[in-house]
Amino acid sequence: MHKIVFLDRDSIIADIRRPAMAHEWIEYPSTRAEQTVERLQKAGIAITNKVLLRRDVLEQLPGLKMVAVAATGVNNVDIDCCRERGIIVSNIRNYSVKTVPEHVFMLMLALRRNLPAFRSDLSKGEWQRANQFCLFTHPVRDLSGSTLGIVGHGAIGKAVEKIALAFGMNVLIAEHKGAAAIRPGYTAFDTVMRQSDVISLHLSLNAQTRHLIGTAEFALMQPHTLLINTARGGLVDEAALLNALCSGRIGGAGFDVLEKEPPSEGHPLLDLDLPNFILTPHIAWSSREAMQTLANQLTANIEAFMAGTPQNQVR
């Protein structure tokens, strides 16, 4: 009978069905790094959303047979060590293909139509003092007819593309940065940087994609270009982003992620008071519907492993 330990249960707001097979289930609201090894002693299956399972931890857990990641990203798990030790790692697939694209377009629309700036004007009484029925203090731009560059064309990138086409946007799909050849249907990375009115990132974070967008990429963008990041904070050099926003190098940015989460007090992007920058606290994925889909798939992944037919393995 497997002992299943959920290290950070409070990271998921959903009803989690327990596996149908015989098991022992233990869950903790959250787990600090120094508690991980003790809590996973004698566990056969570990569930983690963001708790780190690095080599030094995994090597102290001889009974661990499976890591069920309650998320798509697996940056918190040492996959190489798991492979060496014969530990199955599963993750969650395609659960947020509706909620993340909706968040992308919320940010995109708010910035294209200058919603934060107009709200600020209203709070200052600008409309009340206007000499006509409407206020023209900021430009309003349509999505229709504009160009969206999508960097990362997986399930979420494809869902964003579908909505963009419904809005009447032109869509460019970025080829890998520095690629020697361009695949059919793709556009060179630098061309996407130059020609897009809006750029949306939908990539996993790894050694190749860390700081994919930095000073050189911001220099390629048009002065009105918007950058949307609902994927991983590390995809963008935050110092370069701050400089691009403060210098007016780009038109604005909508971010749902930062390199370090939760951020420390005094993080420069937390204190950035600009009408063309929107920061949300890593919630694009977190609609109640999406979290329930995640929870259902999490249980299914564990049941498949217990039945000897693992699914959604990370290799």
* Active-site annotation, residues: 232, 261, 282
The dihedral region occupied by 168, where left means phi > 0, alpha psi between -120 and 50, and beta the remainder, is left
Integer Cα distance of 273 and 12 in angstroms: 31
User: Six-digit token pair at 122?
Assistant: 């209203």
Integer Cα distance of 45 and 67 in angstroms: 6
The dihedral region occupied by 98, where left means phi > 0, alpha psi between -120 and 50, and beta the remainder, is alpha
Distance from the first to the final alpha carbon of the chain? 26
Q: How many alpha carbons fall within 13 Å on the CB side of residue 278? A: 27
C-beta of residue 53 within 8 angstroms of C-beta of residue 46: yes
Beta strand residue intervals within the chain, DSSP E: 2-6, 23-27, 45-48, 66-69, 88-90, 147-151, 170-173, 198-201, 226-229, 252-255, 277-279
Q: Tokens 């809590």 appear where? A: 39
Integer Cα distance of 240 and 211 in angstroms: 10
**Secondary structure class of 303 (helix, strand, coil):** helix
Residue 187 has a CB neighbour count (10 Å cut-off) of 18
Distances (CA, A) of 259 to 100, 205, 230: 18, 10, 12
